[in-house]
Amino acid sequence: MAIAATTDFWTSRMTGENPTSLTGDEQTNWTAAVSGTASASGGNWVITANTYYNQTSTPTEYTMVGVFAFTDSTAIPSNGAVLMALDNGTHRVEVRSKGTNAKLDLVGATTVTTRDLDLDMGEGDDPIPLVLRLTLDSSGEAYLYMREIIEDDDGANDYLSVTGASSSSKEARWGNSSGTVTWYSVYYTDKGAFSPDEISTSDWTTNALLQMGLATVELLRDSTRPYLKTHVSDSAINYGYDLSSGMVSRYSPPCIFVVLEGLASPEFVTLSGTRAEQSYSVGIFVVTRGTNYKDAYRLGMDIAGEVFDEVYKNTGVNSTTDSIRSYEAQLDTKVDDDEVVCIHKLSFGYVRRINMLHR
């Protein structure tokens, strides 16, 4: 899957209200597939007896994010109880309780178990909310992300994956058949199977960090231009979350860091605030090294030139959505005899027109 487009959004956003009567623009209500005992409590939706909500979507790729907690340590859903499920008509995947407050199962054609999710009750029996993201694509590949984490501190994958079990009906479903579960929020979209790096529960974050920052990283990694294709490995093109000298020194030049430097919306383009023109500043650092600084400088220029061409050609030239309004290049000149690293920086000024209804 790719990063969510400007036309992709959460088609259902339950934030504690009755799932069958959602409020907000372009929302799809849920249907009570099984009606037991459920009600609003403390701004959340609490299911205390056999209740499920579902809806049927025409597309075949789905994403569901559930934020929930086992409210009572003596009333945990029984082993095998389904909490979340996605079914695209050919494949079905489910998240099931194990009857404990520690782990869950991801069930498709095979079954895998999560790591310890630390669902024990806190002090004073306060529940600890868990964020789960379940995705299913058209080929039947399903992923489960825990607490929106893709990689752990060591860079290893921290998600589960299975191939969905064979199915012949379509459905997106959540709820619980037993136990007491507090559902804080449930976000769902039939626009695609999105990882945490491809769509955020916050539209603002999706518009900014993902579509302007991480999408640029993806664009440069996919480039077929000579130097970007052969001299800079995919692992050396990254978003600049940490640009400290200790972190940057872990990468072997040539490497590229993309940074979203700022954003602002000087004015909304409609009186009702339904559309906004948002300005973005995106910085791209091209890092090269050489014993001969001239060679490092020239290599950096060649790579920076390809970065400019790639960004200009493929982003910011849509007059109805995105537009590049400006750019600036800061070229690094050697001023220290011991200096061997050259860093050229490109800064792009964007203006993007955003639909503000999907929030």
Phi, psi of 336 (to 5 degrees): -125, 135
How much is the pLDDT for 10? 95
Residue ranges of domains in the chain: 12-189, 203-355
Task: Name the nearest CA neighbour of 176 among 271, 49, 332, 335.
Answer: 49
From CA 195, how far away is CA 151, in angstroms rounded?
A: 12
| CA distances for 308 relative to 18, 81, 83, 168, 185, angstroms | 49, 53, 47, 48, 41
Q: Residue 120 has what pLDDT?
A: 60
Which residue would you say has higher pLDDT here, 357 or 196?
196
Q: Calculate Rg over the CA atoms of the chain.
A: 24
CATH 3.40.50.2300 fits 12-189, yes or no: no
pLDDT above 90 (res 1):
no
pLDDT in tens, 104-159: 999 999 999 999 887 765 555 667 789 999 999 999 999 999 999 998 877 788 99
Q: Mean pLDDT over residues 190-195, rounded?
A: 97
Q: Give the torsion through C-alpha atoms of 78, 83, 89, 91, to 10 deg.
A: -70
List for the chain the helix, strand, coil content (%; round to 5): 15, 40, 45
Q: CATH classification of 203-355, choosing from 3.30.2000.10, 3.90.79.10, 3.30.470.20, 3.30.1600.10?
A: 3.30.2000.10
| 188-195 average pLDDT score | 97
| Phi, psi dihedral angles at 141 (to 5 degrees) | -75, 130
Between β-strands 104-107 and 91-97, what pairing exists: parallel, antiparallel or unpaired?
antiparallel
- Model pTM score: 0.90
pLDDT at 166 over 80: yes
279-337 residue pLDDT tens = 899 999 999 998 889 999 999 999 999 999 999 988 876 656 678 889 999 999 988 87
For the chain, percent of residues with pLDDT exceeding 70: 94
Mean pLDDT value across residues 23-40? 90
Cα 174 to Cα 49, 62, 64, 270, 318: the distances in Å are 13, 13, 9, 37, 39
Q: pLDDT tens across 216-226, in order?
A: 999 999 999 99
- pLDDT averaged over every residue in the chain: 91
Q: Locate all alpha helices (DSSP H) within the chain, ordered by sequence.
A: 203-205, 215-221, 226-230, 245-248, 293-314
Check residue 340 and give its pLDDT: 83
Phi (first) and psi of residue 71, to 5 degrees: -70, -35
